[in-house]
Chains A and B, each alone.
Chain A
Amino acid sequence: MMHVNEGLLLALRDGESVTEEALSHVEMCAVCSSGLEEVSARAALIREMLEEEVPAVDLEAAKAAVRARLDRSRTRSRVPFIVSSVRRAAAILLVAAGAVSAFQAPSVRSWLSERFGDSGATGPGAGTAPRQSEELQSVGIAARPGLVIALTGLDAGHRVALVFEVRDEVEVSAAEGTRFLIADARIDASDVVGPVVIRVPVGAPALTITANGRIMFTGTDAEYDVDSSGVQADGGWIFRAPDA
């Protein structure tokens, strides 16, 4: 066996799992043993360098500060950051006019629950909504800067729900038959069946969602730009896809 690379030596040093072959080699090889000692010494030095005397944390004060922040955020209505005021006006008008009566539910989750189990749904996209008995497909990817979720082949008006919640990764769900392709920082969903549900971790870096090539949403849960079809509800947004 050739000498192990430094990445593997670090894994060994840090107690990560390595192959038995690599472990045996390092035990027998003077060069690699020396390398392991070297990276171990480096770790000790770095640990010493990074030793930080953090001023004592006042936990009670911190708790009070967080509670105050939470109270503030719950009592004020969240004002979205929308680059285009025209878009914002359009979104508000849509709601005010009741043009999207299906979107009047105060919560994205209740809309999802209703839509995914409701056989009497009407409107574009609803006709292909999966019933509770149908299988949903979900693909997941770690939230990362620059993540793009591209949805293509949707009928005009097809619904796309975006939900922000405390979770570990970005997840895209649709009914069986939808085709997913995952790349490094991209999820492509084509031939979408039923409403699409995109679940995004609260606090995740900015991501972009497109439907039939048009940007529906770009940003984070706290700062974003949305398409005029977007209707904000508690917990997220619901969009309608444009013409393909």
Chain B
Amino acid sequence: MTVRATSSPTPVDFDAVFDQHYADLVRYCRRLTGESDAAEDIAQESVCRLFGHEIRAGPADIRAWLFKTATNLARDRYRTTTNRRRLLEVHPVQPSASEAPDRALEREERRAGARAALETMAPRDREMLLMRYSGFSYKEIAEALGVSSSSVGTLLSRAERRFADAVTGLEVGA
């Protein structure tokens, strides 16, 4: 049995949360859902949950908490939305004016391939991969996804292989 003392809360500043975490959170949500609108919605809802209970103090690691909440919200949305747009149907990002069209096309094809590959993965594999490539430590990933820290390396390895296999499979099938 673990007996632990309550950790001291950390002050939460509304503007600081946005300045420090919001853009990364939207990026993560966009990778997770493949949809820009959904990503903004989930990111905003996550921040709302942080402040929604009029609590003047927050978790020790606000970034991890926000990403974990966003992951849960994305899962719920994935489960409940019946007419979810497929990832491949996401409107492509328009190339910038300074970018050569062929290079922009190649980059967009690569992104579409990545989105399609992510779509084929199990939710936990996808979340693990995206959290790692959003800069989370193994400990943070373990806490967010409810797995042991010692198993993250092995699970992440499997997720990476599945992603790579899915990308290859899609390229072969194209």
Report whether B72 and A53 are in contact in the complex, using a CB–CB cutoff of 8 Å: no
Report whether B2 and A139 are in contact in the complex, using a CB–CB cutoff of 8 Å: yes
- Report the minimum CB–CB distance from B46 to chain A (whole Å): 7
In this complex, the member of A10, A16, A47 whose beta carbon has the largest number of chain B beta carbons within 10 angstroms is: A10
Q: B55 touches which one: A62, A138, A140, A165 (CB < 8 A)? A: A165
A3 at the B interface (CB under 8 A): no
B18 at the A interface (CB under 8 A): yes
Task: Give the CA-CA distance A201 to B36 in the complex, in Å.
Answer: 26
In this complex, what residue of B is CB-closest to A15?
Answer: B137
Task: Give the CA-CA distance A11 to B164 in the complex, in Å.
Answer: 18
B1 at the A interface (CB under 8 A): yes
Q: A11 touches which one: B40, B46, B69, B153 (CB < 8 A)? A: B153
Report whether B49 and A59 are in contact in the complex, using a CB–CB cutoff of 8 Å: no
Task: Give the CA-CA distance A57 to B73 in the complex, in Å.
Answer: 20
Report whether B22 and A57 are in contact in the complex, using a CB–CB cutoff of 8 Å: yes
Once A47-B133, A139-B1 are accepted as A-B contacts, the answer to whether A203 and B153 lie under 8 Å apart by CB is no
Report whether A202 and B52 are in contact in the complex, using a CB–CB cutoff of 8 Å: yes
Which bucket holds chain B's interface residue count? 35 or more
Q: A46 touches which one: B27, B57, B59, B160 (CB < 8 A)? A: B160
Which residues in B have their C-beta under 8 angstroms from that of A167? 59
Q: B61 touches which one: A46, A65, A168 (CB < 8 A)? A: A168
Task: Give the CA-CA distance A57 to B26 in the complex, in Å.
Answer: 8
Report whether A6 and B157 are in contact in the complex, using a CB–CB cutoff of 8 Å: yes
Which one, A66-74, A120-128, A152-160, A210-218, is touching chain B? A66-74
Q: B58 touches which one: A16, A140, A144, A166 (CB < 8 A)? A: A166
In this complex, what residue of A is CB-closest to B45?
Answer: A69
Once A11-B153, A139-B1 are accepted as A-B contacts, the answer to whether A66 and B47 lie under 8 Å apart by CB is yes
Report whether A202 and B2 are in contact in the complex, using a CB–CB cutoff of 8 Å: no
A106 at the B interface (CB under 8 A): no
A21 at the B interface (CB under 8 A): no
- Report the minimum CB–CB distance from B111 to chain A (whole Å): 7
A142 at the B interface (CB under 8 A): yes
- Report the minimum CB–CB distance from A190 to chain B (whole Å): 12
Q: B3 touches which one: A7, A59, A137 (CB < 8 A)? A: A137
- Report the minimum CB–CB distance from A203 to chain B (whole Å): 4
Which residues in B have their C-beta under 8 angstroms from that of A24? none
B121 at the A interface (CB under 8 A): no
Report whether B110 and A54 are in contact in the complex, using a CB–CB cutoff of 8 Å: no
Report whether A166 and B57 are in contact in the complex, using a CB–CB cutoff of 8 Å: yes
- Report the minimum CB–CB distance from A24 to chain B (whole Å): 18
Q: A10 touches which one: B18, B144, B156 (CB < 8 A)? A: B156
In this complex, what residue of A is CB-closest to B113?
Answer: A49
Task: Give the CA-CA distance A69 to B41 in the complex, in Å.
Answer: 11
- Taking Cβ atoms with an 8 Å cutoff, the residues of B that contact A are 1-4, 6, 12, 14-15, 18-19, 22-23, 26-27, 30-31, 36, 39-40, 43-55, 57-61, 64-65, 68-69, 72-73, 75-76, 93, 107, 110-111, 113-114, 117, 129-130, 132-133, 137-138, 142-146, 151-157, 160, 163-164, 167
A-B contact pairs, 24 of them (CB 8 A): A10-B157, A11-B153, A14-B153, A42-B164, A45-B164, A46-B164, A54-B26, A55-B36, A62-B18, A69-B48, A74-B52, A139-B1, A139-B3, A142-B142, A142-B144, A144-B145, A168-B61, A168-B143, A179-B1, A201-B69, A202-B49, A203-B49, A203-B72, A204-B72
Minimum-distance CB pairs A-B, first 3: A144-B146, A7-B153, A7-B154
- Taking Cβ atoms with an 8 Å cutoff, the residues of A that contact B are 5-11, 14, 16, 39, 42-43, 45-55, 57, 59, 62-63, 65-66, 69-70, 73-74, 137-140, 142-145, 164-169, 179-182, 185, 201-205, 235
